[in-house]
Amino acid sequence: MSHVFPRHTKASLPVAAKGDGCYIIDKSGKKYFDGSGGAAVSCLGHSDPDVTRAIKDQIDNIAFAHTGFFTTDPAEELADLLIGAAPGRLDRVYFVSGGSEAMEAALKLARQYFLEKGEPSRHRVIARRQSYHGNTLGALATGGNQWRREPFSPLMIETSHISPCFEYRGRREDETAYDYGQRVANELETEIERLGPENVMAFVAEPVVGATAGALPPVEGYFKRIREICDRYGVLLILDEVMCGMGRTGTLFACDQDGIAPDILCIAKGLGAGYQPIGAMLCTADIYQAIETGSGFFQHGHTYIGHPTACAAALAVFKKLTGGVAGRVMPMGDKLQAALTDAFGQHPHVGDIRGRGLFRGIEIVEDRASKAPFDPKRGVNKVLKKAAFEAGLICYPMGGTIDGVTGDHILLAPPFIMEDAHIGEITDKLATAFKAAF
Ligand code: PLP
Protein backbone atom coordinates (compact mmCIF):
# COMPACT_ATOMS: atom_id res chain seq x y z
CA MET A 1 0.00 0.00 0.00
CA SER A 2 1.24 3.49 -0.86
CA HIS A 3 1.58 6.09 1.89
CA VAL A 4 1.77 8.98 -0.59
CA PHE A 5 -1.23 11.34 -0.36
CA PRO A 6 -2.22 11.72 -4.05
CA ARG A 7 -4.29 14.49 -5.64
CA HIS A 8 -7.03 12.06 -6.59
CA THR A 9 -7.36 9.50 -3.87
CA LYS A 10 -9.04 6.97 -6.17
CA ALA A 11 -6.51 7.31 -8.98
CA SER A 12 -4.00 4.61 -9.72
CA LEU A 13 -1.04 6.29 -11.39
CA PRO A 14 1.80 4.89 -13.47
CA VAL A 15 5.25 5.40 -11.95
CA ALA A 16 7.35 7.98 -13.84
CA ALA A 17 10.76 6.34 -14.14
CA LYS A 18 12.77 8.40 -16.64
CA GLY A 19 12.76 11.59 -18.65
CA ASP A 20 14.05 11.67 -22.20
CA GLY A 21 13.81 14.98 -24.07
CA CYS A 22 10.11 15.64 -24.73
CA TYR A 23 9.10 12.26 -23.26
CA ILE A 24 8.34 10.74 -19.88
CA ILE A 25 8.80 6.97 -19.65
CA ASP A 26 6.95 5.01 -16.99
CA LYS A 27 8.17 1.92 -15.15
CA SER A 28 6.51 -0.42 -17.64
CA GLY A 29 8.46 1.27 -20.45
CA LYS A 30 5.50 3.18 -21.93
CA LYS A 31 6.48 6.57 -23.46
CA TYR A 32 4.35 9.70 -23.14
CA PHE A 33 4.91 12.86 -25.18
CA ASP A 34 4.77 15.68 -22.63
CA GLY A 35 2.40 17.91 -24.57
CA SER A 36 1.66 20.15 -21.61
CA GLY A 37 4.99 20.15 -19.76
CA GLY A 38 3.01 18.90 -16.75
CA ALA A 39 1.29 22.23 -16.31
CA ALA A 40 3.45 24.42 -18.59
CA VAL A 41 6.58 23.67 -16.59
CA SER A 42 9.01 21.56 -18.62
CA CYS A 43 10.09 24.08 -21.26
CA LEU A 44 13.46 22.38 -21.77
CA GLY A 45 12.13 18.83 -21.71
CA HIS A 46 13.21 16.25 -19.17
CA SER A 47 16.90 15.51 -19.60
CA ASP A 48 18.81 18.71 -20.14
CA PRO A 49 22.47 17.96 -19.31
CA ASP A 50 23.49 21.59 -18.74
CA VAL A 51 20.82 22.19 -16.13
CA THR A 52 21.59 18.89 -14.41
CA ARG A 53 25.30 19.76 -14.31
CA ALA A 54 24.60 23.22 -12.89
CA ILE A 55 22.56 21.65 -10.07
CA LYS A 56 25.29 19.11 -9.29
CA ASP A 57 28.00 21.79 -9.32
CA GLN A 58 26.01 23.98 -6.95
CA ILE A 59 25.35 21.15 -4.51
CA ASP A 60 29.05 20.28 -4.57
CA ASN A 61 29.76 23.88 -3.44
CA ILE A 62 26.82 24.55 -1.16
CA ALA A 63 23.26 23.26 -1.41
CA PHE A 64 21.53 25.73 0.92
CA ALA A 65 22.30 28.95 2.78
CA HIS A 66 19.60 30.93 4.58
CA THR A 67 18.89 34.39 3.10
CA GLY A 68 18.77 35.87 6.60
CA PHE A 69 22.54 35.38 6.68
CA PHE A 70 23.84 35.09 3.11
CA THR A 71 23.30 35.87 -0.51
CA THR A 72 24.75 33.55 -3.17
CA ASP A 73 26.30 33.86 -6.62
CA PRO A 74 23.52 32.08 -8.54
CA ALA A 75 20.82 34.22 -6.88
CA GLU A 76 22.71 37.44 -7.65
CA GLU A 77 23.51 36.49 -11.24
CA LEU A 78 20.00 35.26 -11.97
CA ALA A 79 18.45 38.43 -10.52
CA ASP A 80 20.76 40.59 -12.70
CA LEU A 81 19.82 38.65 -15.83
CA LEU A 82 16.10 38.73 -15.08
CA ILE A 83 16.12 42.46 -14.45
CA GLY A 84 18.20 43.03 -17.58
CA ALA A 85 15.49 41.31 -19.62
CA ALA A 86 12.38 42.44 -17.71
CA PRO A 87 10.01 45.11 -19.05
CA GLY A 88 9.59 48.64 -17.73
CA ARG A 89 11.02 49.71 -14.39
CA LEU A 90 11.17 46.28 -12.74
CA ASP A 91 14.31 46.42 -10.66
CA ARG A 92 14.33 43.86 -7.83
CA VAL A 93 13.74 40.11 -7.65
CA TYR A 94 12.41 38.16 -4.67
CA PHE A 95 12.97 34.42 -5.14
CA VAL A 96 10.44 31.94 -3.75
CA SER A 97 9.67 28.26 -4.33
CA GLY A 98 6.71 28.40 -6.73
CA GLY A 99 3.83 30.30 -8.27
CA SER A 100 1.50 30.58 -5.28
CA GLU A 101 4.34 31.81 -3.10
CA ALA A 102 5.20 34.44 -5.71
CA MET A 103 1.59 35.64 -5.68
CA GLU A 104 1.41 35.75 -1.88
CA ALA A 105 4.61 37.79 -1.82
CA ALA A 106 3.17 40.14 -4.46
CA LEU A 107 -0.04 40.74 -2.49
CA LYS A 108 1.82 41.38 0.75
CA LEU A 109 4.36 43.62 -0.93
CA ALA A 110 1.58 45.69 -2.50
CA ARG A 111 -0.08 46.09 0.89
CA GLN A 112 3.15 47.00 2.64
CA TYR A 113 4.02 49.49 -0.11
CA PHE A 114 0.86 51.47 0.60
CA LEU A 115 1.43 51.30 4.35
CA GLU A 116 4.96 52.65 3.91
CA LYS A 117 3.58 55.38 1.63
CA GLY A 118 1.02 56.45 4.21
CA GLU A 119 -2.04 55.16 2.34
CA PRO A 120 -3.25 52.54 4.83
CA SER A 121 -6.80 52.32 3.48
CA ARG A 122 -5.60 50.71 0.25
CA HIS A 123 -6.19 46.98 0.66
CA ARG A 124 -8.74 45.83 -1.91
CA VAL A 125 -7.69 43.56 -4.77
CA ILE A 126 -9.51 43.39 -8.09
CA ALA A 127 -8.95 40.42 -10.40
CA ARG A 128 -10.89 38.65 -13.14
CA ARG A 129 -13.47 35.90 -13.03
CA GLN A 130 -11.55 33.71 -15.47
CA SER A 131 -8.27 33.39 -13.59
CA TYR A 132 -6.14 31.18 -11.39
CA HIS A 133 -3.39 32.58 -9.22
CA GLY A 134 -2.52 29.67 -6.95
CA ASN A 135 -3.91 27.54 -4.16
CA THR A 136 -2.64 29.26 -1.00
CA LEU A 137 -5.36 31.36 0.62
CA GLY A 138 -4.35 34.82 -0.63
CA ALA A 139 -3.70 33.58 -4.16
CA LEU A 140 -6.88 31.48 -4.11
CA ALA A 141 -8.94 34.48 -2.99
CA THR A 142 -7.48 36.47 -5.88
CA GLY A 143 -8.31 33.87 -8.52
CA GLY A 144 -11.78 33.58 -9.98
CA ASN A 145 -12.11 29.83 -10.33
CA GLN A 146 -15.36 29.10 -8.48
CA TRP A 147 -14.80 25.38 -8.13
CA ARG A 148 -11.43 25.87 -6.43
CA ARG A 149 -12.62 28.79 -4.28
CA GLU A 150 -15.96 27.58 -2.99
CA PRO A 151 -14.98 25.13 -0.22
CA PHE A 152 -12.57 27.64 1.30
CA SER A 153 -14.57 30.83 0.84
CA PRO A 154 -15.04 31.48 4.61
CA LEU A 155 -11.25 31.62 4.96
CA MET A 156 -10.59 34.09 2.18
CA ILE A 157 -10.01 37.85 1.90
CA GLU A 158 -12.67 39.78 0.02
CA THR A 159 -11.77 40.25 -3.64
CA SER A 160 -13.65 41.75 -6.59
CA HIS A 161 -13.80 39.98 -9.92
CA ILE A 162 -14.46 41.71 -13.24
CA SER A 163 -14.94 40.12 -16.67
CA PRO A 164 -12.02 38.44 -18.36
CA CYS A 165 -10.97 39.53 -21.86
CA PHE A 166 -12.49 36.52 -23.60
CA GLU A 167 -13.19 37.42 -27.21
CA TYR A 168 -14.64 34.04 -28.24
CA ARG A 169 -17.25 34.17 -25.47
CA GLY A 170 -17.68 37.85 -24.76
CA ARG A 171 -17.42 39.95 -27.94
CA ARG A 172 -20.74 41.12 -29.35
CA GLU A 173 -21.27 40.86 -33.09
CA ASP A 174 -21.68 44.63 -33.37
CA GLU A 175 -18.30 45.52 -31.85
CA THR A 176 -14.71 45.20 -33.03
CA ALA A 177 -12.18 43.17 -31.06
CA TYR A 178 -10.55 46.42 -30.00
CA ASP A 179 -13.82 47.95 -28.78
CA TYR A 180 -14.64 44.76 -26.91
CA GLY A 181 -11.25 44.91 -25.16
CA GLN A 182 -11.82 48.54 -24.15
CA ARG A 183 -15.31 47.71 -22.87
CA VAL A 184 -14.15 44.91 -20.59
CA ALA A 185 -11.05 46.85 -19.48
CA ASN A 186 -13.32 49.72 -18.48
CA GLU A 187 -15.01 47.42 -15.97
CA LEU A 188 -11.86 47.94 -13.90
CA GLU A 189 -12.51 51.67 -13.72
CA THR A 190 -16.13 51.08 -12.73
CA GLU A 191 -15.08 48.70 -9.95
CA ILE A 192 -12.36 51.05 -8.65
CA GLU A 193 -14.94 53.87 -8.50
CA ARG A 194 -17.42 51.58 -6.75
CA LEU A 195 -14.91 50.54 -4.09
CA GLY A 196 -13.42 54.01 -3.76
CA PRO A 197 -9.94 54.48 -5.29
CA GLU A 198 -8.49 55.20 -1.85
CA ASN A 199 -9.32 51.59 -0.88
CA VAL A 200 -7.93 49.81 -3.94
CA MET A 201 -4.45 48.31 -3.77
CA ALA A 202 -3.97 46.25 -6.92
CA PHE A 203 -5.39 44.77 -10.08
CA VAL A 204 -4.17 41.23 -10.79
CA ALA A 205 -4.27 39.44 -14.15
CA GLU A 206 -2.60 36.72 -16.20
CA PRO A 207 -1.58 38.30 -19.55
CA VAL A 208 -2.46 35.03 -21.29
CA VAL A 209 -4.89 33.07 -19.12
CA GLY A 210 -3.75 29.50 -18.55
CA ALA A 211 -5.51 26.83 -16.55
CA THR A 212 -8.98 28.38 -16.24
CA ALA A 213 -9.40 29.34 -19.88
CA GLY A 214 -6.96 27.38 -22.02
CA ALA A 215 -4.29 29.76 -23.32
CA LEU A 216 -6.53 32.78 -23.68
CA PRO A 217 -4.73 35.86 -25.07
CA PRO A 218 -6.13 39.38 -24.68
CA VAL A 219 -7.27 41.45 -27.66
CA GLU A 220 -5.11 44.32 -28.85
CA GLY A 221 -5.28 47.41 -26.68
CA TYR A 222 -6.82 45.68 -23.65
CA PHE A 223 -3.77 45.78 -21.38
CA LYS A 224 -2.82 49.30 -22.52
CA ARG A 225 -6.21 50.47 -21.28
CA ILE A 226 -5.78 48.47 -18.04
CA ARG A 227 -2.39 50.12 -17.50
CA GLU A 228 -3.92 53.59 -18.07
CA ILE A 229 -6.67 52.94 -15.53
CA CYS A 230 -4.21 51.64 -12.91
CA ASP A 231 -2.00 54.71 -13.41
CA ARG A 232 -4.93 57.08 -13.22
CA TYR A 233 -6.06 55.74 -9.83
CA GLY A 234 -2.63 54.88 -8.38
CA VAL A 235 -3.52 51.18 -8.34
CA LEU A 236 -0.66 48.68 -8.70
CA LEU A 237 -0.76 46.35 -11.69
CA ILE A 238 0.33 42.82 -10.72
CA LEU A 239 0.82 40.50 -13.67
CA ASP A 240 0.82 36.77 -13.03
CA GLU A 241 3.12 35.17 -15.58
CA VAL A 242 3.60 32.04 -13.50
CA MET A 243 2.32 29.94 -16.40
CA CYS A 244 2.65 32.17 -19.46
CA GLY A 245 6.06 33.72 -18.70
CA MET A 246 9.64 32.64 -19.39
CA GLY A 247 9.33 32.39 -23.14
CA ARG A 248 6.17 30.26 -23.24
CA THR A 249 4.26 32.70 -25.49
CA GLY A 250 7.21 33.50 -27.78
CA THR A 251 8.67 36.45 -25.86
CA LEU A 252 10.49 36.10 -22.57
CA PHE A 253 7.66 37.87 -20.77
CA ALA A 254 4.13 37.53 -22.11
CA CYS A 255 3.31 41.21 -21.45
CA ASP A 256 6.11 42.24 -23.86
CA GLN A 257 3.61 41.49 -26.65
CA ASP A 258 1.03 43.82 -25.13
CA GLY A 259 3.43 46.76 -24.94
CA ILE A 260 3.01 47.31 -21.20
CA ALA A 261 4.95 46.70 -18.00
CA PRO A 262 3.53 45.86 -14.57
CA ASP A 263 4.50 47.19 -11.16
CA ILE A 264 4.90 43.65 -9.88
CA LEU A 265 5.46 40.54 -12.00
CA CYS A 266 5.26 36.91 -10.86
CA ILE A 267 6.98 34.05 -12.65
CA ALA A 268 7.55 30.41 -11.76
CA LYS A 269 6.98 27.29 -13.83
CA GLY A 270 9.34 27.85 -16.76
CA LEU A 271 11.85 29.60 -14.50
CA GLY A 272 13.12 26.32 -13.08
CA ALA A 273 11.68 24.27 -15.95
CA GLY A 274 10.85 21.54 -13.42
CA TYR A 275 14.48 20.89 -12.55
CA GLN A 276 14.04 22.65 -9.21
CA PRO A 277 11.02 24.27 -7.53
CA ILE A 278 11.45 28.03 -7.90
CA GLY A 279 9.36 31.14 -8.49
CA ALA A 280 10.06 34.85 -8.36
CA MET A 281 8.37 38.16 -7.76
CA LEU A 282 9.84 41.18 -9.54
CA CYS A 283 8.97 44.71 -8.45
CA THR A 284 9.76 48.24 -9.55
CA ALA A 285 12.41 50.47 -8.03
CA ASP A 286 9.61 52.72 -6.66
CA ILE A 287 8.09 49.92 -4.65
CA TYR A 288 11.44 48.70 -3.40
CA GLN A 289 12.50 52.21 -2.42
CA ALA A 290 9.32 52.81 -0.44
CA ILE A 291 10.38 49.91 1.78
CA GLU A 292 14.10 50.73 1.69
CA THR A 293 13.52 54.30 2.82
CA GLY A 294 10.65 53.31 5.11
CA SER A 295 10.77 50.41 7.54
CA GLY A 296 13.70 48.79 5.69
CA PHE A 297 12.17 45.33 6.08
CA PHE A 298 9.75 43.40 3.88
CA GLN A 299 7.58 41.69 6.43
CA HIS A 300 7.44 38.34 4.67
CA GLY A 301 9.63 35.30 4.03
CA HIS A 302 9.91 31.53 3.83
CA THR A 303 12.77 29.23 4.80
CA TYR A 304 13.65 28.40 1.22
CA ILE A 305 13.54 31.84 -0.43
CA GLY A 306 16.54 32.36 -2.69
CA HIS A 307 17.48 28.66 -2.46
CA PRO A 308 20.94 28.45 -4.07
CA THR A 309 20.42 25.10 -5.81
CA ALA A 310 17.08 26.24 -7.22
CA CYS A 311 18.66 29.52 -8.36
CA ALA A 312 21.57 27.62 -9.98
CA ALA A 313 19.09 25.47 -11.91
CA ALA A 314 17.06 28.52 -12.98
CA LEU A 315 20.22 30.34 -14.01
CA ALA A 316 21.19 27.46 -16.29
CA VAL A 317 17.62 27.36 -17.66
CA PHE A 318 17.67 31.12 -18.28
CA LYS A 319 20.97 30.90 -20.18
CA LYS A 320 19.59 28.14 -22.39
CA LEU A 321 16.35 30.01 -23.05
CA THR A 322 18.05 33.27 -23.96
CA GLY A 323 20.88 31.42 -25.74
CA GLY A 324 18.49 30.30 -28.48
CA VAL A 325 15.89 27.85 -27.19
CA ALA A 326 13.25 30.52 -26.55
CA GLY A 327 13.66 31.69 -30.15
CA ARG A 328 12.13 28.38 -31.31
CA VAL A 329 8.81 29.10 -29.59
CA MET A 330 7.17 31.58 -31.96
CA PRO A 331 7.77 29.70 -35.25
CA MET A 332 7.03 26.30 -33.68
CA GLY A 333 3.90 27.72 -32.02
CA ASP A 334 2.65 29.04 -35.38
CA LYS A 335 3.16 25.60 -36.91
CA LEU A 336 1.36 23.93 -34.02
CA GLN A 337 -1.59 26.33 -34.32
CA ALA A 338 -1.80 25.67 -38.07
CA ALA A 339 -1.69 21.90 -37.55
CA LEU A 340 -4.32 21.99 -34.81
CA THR A 341 -6.57 24.15 -36.98
CA ASP A 342 -6.08 21.74 -39.90
CA ALA A 343 -6.85 18.70 -37.80
CA PHE A 344 -9.62 19.99 -35.53
CA GLY A 345 -10.77 23.38 -36.86
CA GLN A 346 -13.92 21.82 -38.38
CA HIS A 347 -14.55 19.27 -35.64
CA PRO A 348 -18.20 19.54 -34.53
CA HIS A 349 -17.12 19.82 -30.88
CA VAL A 350 -14.24 22.26 -31.23
CA GLY A 351 -15.32 25.86 -30.68
CA ASP A 352 -12.02 27.70 -30.63
CA ILE A 353 -8.30 27.01 -31.04
CA ARG A 354 -6.21 29.82 -29.61
CA GLY A 355 -3.05 30.91 -27.85
CA ARG A 356 0.37 32.38 -28.36
CA GLY A 357 3.68 30.64 -28.99
CA LEU A 358 3.80 27.14 -27.53
CA PHE A 359 0.82 27.87 -25.30
CA ARG A 360 -2.31 26.65 -27.08
CA GLY A 361 -5.85 25.94 -25.98
CA ILE A 362 -8.69 24.02 -27.58
CA GLU A 363 -12.15 24.89 -26.32
CA ILE A 364 -14.63 22.05 -26.52
CA VAL A 365 -18.33 22.79 -27.10
CA GLU A 366 -21.42 20.67 -27.52
CA ASP A 367 -22.68 22.90 -30.29
CA ARG A 368 -20.44 25.10 -32.44
CA ALA A 369 -23.15 27.48 -33.61
CA SER A 370 -24.46 28.41 -30.16
CA LYS A 371 -21.07 27.79 -28.43
CA ALA A 372 -23.01 25.84 -25.81
CA PRO A 373 -20.70 23.82 -23.62
CA PHE A 374 -21.24 20.19 -22.66
CA ASP A 375 -23.03 19.38 -19.44
CA PRO A 376 -20.21 19.52 -16.85
CA LYS A 377 -21.43 16.19 -15.46
CA ARG A 378 -20.06 14.54 -18.60
CA GLY A 379 -16.56 15.69 -17.60
CA VAL A 380 -15.53 15.89 -21.24
CA ASN A 381 -12.14 17.40 -20.44
CA LYS A 382 -11.36 14.48 -18.13
CA VAL A 383 -12.43 11.94 -20.72
CA LEU A 384 -10.15 13.61 -23.27
CA LYS A 385 -7.22 13.72 -20.83
CA LYS A 386 -7.59 10.02 -20.07
CA ALA A 387 -7.92 8.99 -23.71
CA ALA A 388 -4.93 11.13 -24.71
CA PHE A 389 -2.86 9.70 -21.85
CA GLU A 390 -3.71 6.17 -22.94
CA ALA A 391 -2.60 7.12 -26.45
CA GLY A 392 0.70 8.41 -25.01
CA LEU A 393 0.06 12.16 -24.97
CA ILE A 394 0.03 14.33 -21.85
CA CYS A 395 -2.30 17.32 -22.15
CA TYR A 396 -3.75 19.54 -19.45
CA PRO A 397 -7.56 19.49 -19.23
CA MET A 398 -9.90 21.87 -17.41
CA GLY A 399 -13.53 22.77 -17.14
CA GLY A 400 -13.72 26.42 -16.23
CA THR A 401 -16.54 28.69 -15.15
CA ILE A 402 -16.97 31.34 -17.79
CA ASP A 403 -19.34 34.03 -16.62
CA GLY A 404 -21.71 31.39 -15.39
CA VAL A 405 -21.14 29.06 -18.34
CA THR A 406 -19.04 26.00 -17.70
CA GLY A 407 -16.87 25.02 -20.62
CA ASP A 408 -14.23 22.37 -21.25
CA HIS A 409 -10.85 22.92 -22.77
CA ILE A 410 -7.48 21.29 -23.09
CA LEU A 411 -4.21 23.12 -22.80
CA LEU A 412 -1.07 22.32 -24.76
CA ALA A 413 2.30 23.63 -23.56
CA PRO A 414 4.96 21.34 -25.02
CA PRO A 415 8.72 21.68 -24.47
CA PHE A 416 10.43 24.39 -26.55
CA ILE A 417 12.89 21.76 -27.80
CA MET A 418 10.17 19.90 -29.72
CA GLU A 419 10.77 19.19 -33.39
CA ASP A 420 8.48 19.44 -36.41
CA ALA A 421 7.83 15.67 -36.27
CA HIS A 422 6.31 16.03 -32.81
CA ILE A 423 3.51 18.21 -34.21
CA GLY A 424 2.12 15.23 -36.15
CA GLU A 425 2.45 13.07 -33.06
CA ILE A 426 0.41 15.58 -31.04
CA THR A 427 -2.38 15.88 -33.62
CA ASP A 428 -2.50 12.10 -34.26
CA LYS A 429 -2.74 11.25 -30.59
CA LEU A 430 -5.28 14.00 -29.97
CA ALA A 431 -7.35 12.68 -32.87
CA THR A 432 -7.34 9.26 -31.21
CA ALA A 433 -8.49 10.91 -27.98
CA PHE A 434 -11.25 12.84 -29.74
CA LYS A 435 -12.50 9.63 -31.38
CA ALA A 436 -12.58 7.92 -28.00
CA ALA A 437 -14.37 10.85 -26.34
CA PHE A 438 -17.11 11.63 -28.88
N1 PLP B 1 -0.57 31.45 -11.20
C2 PLP B 1 -0.85 30.81 -12.34
C3 PLP B 1 -1.24 31.60 -13.55
C4 PLP B 1 -0.80 29.42 -12.40
O5 PLP B 1 -1.12 28.80 -13.54
C6 PLP B 1 -0.42 28.70 -11.24
C7 PLP B 1 -0.36 27.23 -11.27
O8 PLP B 1 -0.89 26.57 -12.11
C9 PLP B 1 -0.12 29.42 -10.08
C10 PLP B 1 -0.20 30.79 -10.08
C11 PLP B 1 0.30 28.67 -8.83
O12 PLP B 1 1.57 28.15 -8.99
P13 PLP B 1 2.06 26.93 -8.09
O14 PLP B 1 1.22 25.77 -8.44
O15 PLP B 1 3.51 26.79 -8.47
O16 PLP B 1 1.91 27.35 -6.68
Question: Which is the closest atom of ligand 1 to the Cα of 100?
Answer: 16
Cβ-Cβ contacts under 8 Å for 326 (sequence gap 6 or more): 247, 252, 416
* Residue 264 maps to a domain: yes
Residue 268 CA, ligand 1 centroid: distance in Å: 8
Alpha-carbon dihedral sign for residues 329, 333, 334, 336: positive
For 418, the domain range is: 16-48+326-437
Same domain, 177 and 307: yes
Q: What is the pLDDT of residue 10?
A: 81
Mean of pLDDT values over 405-428: 94
* Residue 402 maps to a domain: yes
Assess contact for 253 and 265: CB atoms under 8 A: yes
3-state class (DSSP) for residue 9: coil
Mean of pLDDT values over 371-391: 93
Q: Is the per-residue pLDDT at 401 higher than 80? A: no
**pLDDT tens-digit map of 275-301:** 999 999 999 999 999 999 999 999 999
Q: Please, what is the average pLDDT of the chain?
A: 96
* Residue 7 maps to a domain: no
Same domain, 318 and 342: no
* Residue 333 maps to a domain: yes
- Bridge partners (DSSP) of residue 161 are 127
Q: Which of 268, 292, 322 is the last residue of a domain?
A: 322
Of the pLDDT bands very low, low, confident and very high (cuts 50, 70, 90), residue 145 is confident
* Residue 8 maps to a domain: no
Number of domains composing the chain: 2
Q: Which of 261, 288, 322 is the last residue of a domain?
A: 322
Assess contact for 44 and 317: CB atoms under 8 A: yes
3-state class (DSSP) for residue 126: strand
**pLDDT tens-digit map of 302-352:** 999 999 999 999 999 999 999 999 999 999 999 999 999 999 999 999 999
Mean of pLDDT values over 53-72: 98
Residue 71 CA, ligand 1 centroid: distance in Å: 26
Is the ipTM here above 0.90? yes
Same domain, 394 and 289: no
* DSSP letter string, 199-266: GEEEEEE-SSB-TTTSSBPPPTTHHHHHHHHHHHHT-EEEEEETTTTTTTTSSSSGGGGGT---SEEE
Question: Which is the closest atom of ligand 1 to the Cα of 131?
Answer: 3
- Bridge partners (DSSP) of residue 355 are 360
Using most ligand atoms within 8 A of CB, pick from 7, 97, 243 the residue to mutate for ligand 1. Answer: 243
Mean of pLDDT values over 343-370: 96
* Residue 4 maps to a domain: no
**Residue owning the nearest CA to atom 12 of ligand 1:** 99
What is the pTM assigned to this prediction?
0.98
Assess contact for 38 and 319: CB atoms under 8 A: no
Same domain, 273 and 344: no
Q: What is the pLDDT of residue 391?
A: 97
Same domain, 293 and 404: no
Of the pLDDT bands very low, low, confident and very high (cuts 50, 70, 90), residue 404 is low
Residue 99 CA, ligand 1 centroid: distance in Å: 5
Same domain, 42 and 180: no
Helix (H) or strand (E) run with residue 78 in it: helix 73-85
CATH number of the domain within which 343 lies: 3.90.1150.10
* Residue 1 maps to a domain: no
* Residue 407 maps to a domain: yes
Same domain, 336 and 228: no
Question: Which is the closest atom of ligand 1 to the Cα of 101?
Answer: 16
Mean of pLDDT values over 146-162: 93
Is 206's C-beta closer than 6 angstroms to any atom of ligand 1?
Answer: yes
Same domain, 346 and 429: yes
Q: What is the pLDDT of residue 12?
A: 86
Same domain, 275 and 376: no
Neighbours of 63 (CB within 10 A): 12
**pLDDT tens-digit map of 225-278:** 999 999 999 999 999 999 999 999 999 999 999 999 999 999 999 999 999 999
Same domain, 63 and 82: yes
Same domain, 313 and 333: no
Same domain, 287 and 363: no
Assess contact for 237 and 202: CB atoms under 8 A: yes
Is 243's C-beta closer than 6 angstroms to any atom of ligand 1?
Answer: yes
Q: Which of 303, 322, 341 is the last residue of a domain?
A: 322
CATH number of the domain within which 130 lies: 3.40.640.10
